[in-house]
């Protein structure tokens, strides 16, 4: 059994779509980044890669590589899922938290879980996503950005 942790943060800016968990969220701002800046999926990918001792998303998808400019993080997550399976691991569970003052995430969480479950070919019961605010404190609380934390447990197929 292997445990991984991931964290990501992106600045909110005008002129970008807000994509979190592979879901387009109607909001006046979006996240700034080289890819689609999906903060939740980036945290989940880092957790998965960390648990499998495969580095981080910067190693696999460098932000100075033009082929990843504007790419959907769902595509990147699919690649990470293949990497961990090639190394002999399966997902036991993923638990993630989105930290955002606005917009409210609750209406979108089930769709996020569905997207992640399909992309990683794992049961929806293996994925938990929560959202919280920071009560107006810090960069997320004042609306400058959105952050996400994720933890996961992987197991070797031979451990079953």
The domains located in the chain, with CATH, are: 2-159 (3.30.1330.50)
What pLDDT does residue 146 have? 97
Torsion angles phi and psi, residue 120, rounded to 5: -95, 0
pTM for the whole thing?
0.95
Residues of the chain above pLDDT 70, percent: 99
Dump pLDDT digits (tens) for 118-133: 999 999 999 999 999 9
The DSSP string of 53-112 is: T---HHHHS-TT-GGGTT--HHHHHHHHHHHHHHTTEEEEEEEEEEE-SSS--GGGHHHH
Q: What is the pLDDT of residue 86?
A: 96
Are 140 and 51 in contact, with CB atoms under 8 Å apart? no
Tokens linked to 106: 């609750």
Average pLDDT of the segment spanning 120-149: 94
Q: Dihedral through CA 155, CA 126, CA 59, CA 145, nearest 10?
A: -150
pLDDT interval class at 39 (50, 70, 90): very high
The span from the CA of 18 to the CA of 26, in Å, is 7
Average pLDDT over residues 96-117: 97
Q: What is the mean pLDDT of residues 142-149?
A: 95
Tell me the β-bridge partners of 60.
Answer: none
Question: Tell me, what's the pLDDT at 68?
Answer: 86
């Amino acid at each position: 059994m292997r445990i991984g942790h991931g964290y990501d943060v992106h600045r909110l800016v005008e002129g970008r779509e807000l994509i979190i968990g592979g879901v387009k969220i109607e909001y006046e701002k979006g996240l700034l980044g080289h890819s689609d800046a999906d903060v939740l999926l980036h945290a989940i990918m880092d957790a998965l890669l960390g648990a499998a001792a495969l580095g981080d998303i910067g190693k696999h998808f460098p932000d100075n590589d033009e082929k990843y400019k504007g790419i959907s993080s769902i595509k990147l997550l699919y690649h990470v899922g293949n990497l961990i399976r090639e190394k002999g691991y399966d997902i036991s569970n993923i638990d993630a938290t989105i930290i955002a003052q606005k917009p409210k995430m609750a209406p979108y969480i089930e769709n996020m879980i569905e997207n992640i479950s399909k992309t990683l070919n794992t049961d929806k019961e293996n994925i938990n996503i929560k959202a919280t605010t920071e009560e107006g404190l810090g960069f997320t609380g004042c609306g400058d950005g959105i952050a996400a934390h994720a933890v996961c447990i992987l197991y070797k197929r031979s451990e079953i």
